[in-house]
Amino acid sequence: MIARVFGRGAAQSKEDYFTASQSQLIWARFKRKRSSMVAAAILLIFVLCGVFADFLSPYDPTSAGRNPDYTNGAPQLPQFCDDRGCSLVPFIKGVERYRGADTNFRWVTRETDERRYVELFAEGWTYHWFRMDVTLPLVGRVFVPGIALDTHLFGLEGEGFIHIAGTDAQGKDIFSRTLHAIGVSLAVGTIGVVISFVLALVIGGTSGYFGGTYDTVVQMVTDAVRTVPTIPLFMALAAFVPDEWSAETRFFFISMIIGLINWPTLARRVRTHILAERNADYVLAAELCGARPGHVIRRHLLPSFASYIIVDLVISFPYMVLSETALSFIGLGLKDPVNSLGVMLQNTTKVDVLLNYQWYFIPVPVFVCLVLAFVFVGDGLRDAADPYSERK
């Protein structure tokens, strides 16, 4: 079994096994699961797409009507050959607005014979990395200018537009919107998970360690938070949020609320583990050495089931993303001009879109793949963190 885990000779693997740290053992078991490794690679691609969305996007996702001749336009896939021959450089066909008797005098968009060539690292709209401009309720305005850049992965030579995933009714590029939506949804999930994770460790850890009246009061508060209905809460908050709040302020507000209502489950689990471990010999030894309760919880009790906490942390991500997507989908979460997967899925509820503009559904498989990647990675970590998973 040890040789299978570390992939070496029996003697060397046995030595590595008994000298390896907990993280090394988890990684050795995790990388043996092919499905989890593939999911981790896909998840890494999604994260990179979200982080470098500005560089990968040819156009500003919030700019409507940039290409008035291509609203509700179908995807334009680069090609190398047409009726005029082949080219080593990919190109797309030009488009024009047209109406006539053959279209019942309705305006339509049709292709022309003009070639428009694609180029890499093209100059385009200016974006900022590490920029922050948000007004928080208690802190005030927080502004960080960031770094201004105008280089993008691809674009067209000269004038023209390329929309490899089509456009919506306002002329916004769906490919650019999808990339930014991945980053926004992951950012909301990250902020929500961090808030709920910290609250769960502090509240659950102290409740399980001290017990008594403090534990009773904390569990009453925990039960009260767990019984709060999510949809009515966000309906009330949607009415409470001022209209003058910027999109960034609304983003941080929604992230904090999602984190503040999702900590009780993990807190209960942390409390249960600490209740089972607080009378162990190593805890008593630390207390006899004069260690404070915070030190005992932080350095001895929580690390005793750190693998479980890591797994729970990873598994919480898809639920946070699902929460943001569901709330934005029903109009209670983020709204335009913020691009999130939930905001983009709102446009797929129209019958006209289902019949005529199927490219609006491009964010749907992206969302499904993102959630499944988190699920498979969490499942692999759960098995890898279990020390008895290799025993038959």
Contact by Cβ (8 Å): 163, 75: yes
pLDDT in tens, 141-198: 777 777 888 888 888 887 778 888 888 878 888 888 899 888 888 888 888 888 888 8
Residue in this structure with the two tokens 């890898």, named with its chain if needed: 384
Quote the tokens at residue 28.
């050795």
pLDDT in tens, 310-337: 777 777 877 777 777 777 777 677 777 7
282 against 109, higher pLDDT: 282
Contact by Cβ (8 Å): 63, 172: yes
Measure the CA–CA gap between 206 and 200, rounded to whole angstroms: 10
pLDDT in tens, 324-382: 777 777 767 777 777 888 778 877 777 777 777 888 888 888 888 888 888 888 888 87
Model pLDDT, residue 62: 77
pLDDT in tens, 56-96: 888 888 776 566 777 778 888 888 888 888 888 888 887 77
Q: Which residues contact 51 (CB under 8 A, 6 or more apart)?
A: 183
Model pLDDT, residue 45: 93
Q: What is the mean pLDDT of the chain?
A: 80
Quote the tokens at residue 283.
């805890």
Q: In angstroms, how far is the first alpha carbon of the chain from the final one?
A: 11
Strand residue runs (E) in the chain: 79-82, 85-98, 108-129, 132-136, 140-144, 147-156
Contact by Cβ (8 Å): 280, 297: no
Q: Name the DSSP class of 167.
A: B
Q: Does the reported pTM lie above 0.85? A: no
User: Helix, strand, coil: what percent of the chain each, to 5?
Assistant: 60, 15, 25
Quote the tokens at residue 212.
């008594």
Burial 162-176 (b: 16+ CB within 10 A, else e): bbbbbbbeebbbbbb
Note the maximum CA span of the chain. Answer: 93
pLDDT in tens, 22-59: 777 778 888 888 888 999 999 999 999 988 888 988 88
Nearest to 150 by CA among 120, 125, 180, 177: 125
Model pLDDT, residue 149: 84
pLDDT band at 15 (very low <50, low <70, confident <90, very high): low
Q: Is the pLDDT of residue 229 over 90?
A: no
Q: Which residues contact 282 (CB under 8 A, 6 or more apart)?
A: 300
Residue in this structure with the two tokens 């360690």, named with its chain if needed: 209
* Range of lowest pLDDT (13-17, 188-192, 229-233, 315-319): 13-17
pLDDT band at 13 (very low <50, low <70, confident <90, very high): low
Model pLDDT, residue 392: 46
Measure the CA–CA gap between 366 and 387, rounded to whole angstroms: 34
Q: Is the pLDDT of residue 282 over 80?
A: yes
Quote the tokens at residue 276.
């089972």
Nearest to 53 by CA among 338, 258, 329: 338
154 against 234, higher pLDDT: 154
Quick check: helix, strand or coil at residue 391?
coil
Per DSSP bridges, beta strands 147-156 and 132-136 are unpaired
Give residue 121's identity as a one-letter amino acid code: F
pLDDT, mean of residues 110-128? 83
Measure the CA–CA gap between 261 and 267, rounded to whole angstroms: 12
Between the alpha carbon of residue 2 and those of residues 219, 227, 330, 331, 392, the distances in Å are 43, 46, 51, 52, 14
Measure the CA–CA gap between 115 and 59, rounded to whole angstroms: 20
* Range of lowest pLDDT (167-176, 211-220, 228-237): 228-237
Q: Tell me phi and psi for residue 66, to 5 degrees.
A: -65, -35
* Range of lowest pLDDT (105-114, 125-134, 296-305): 105-114
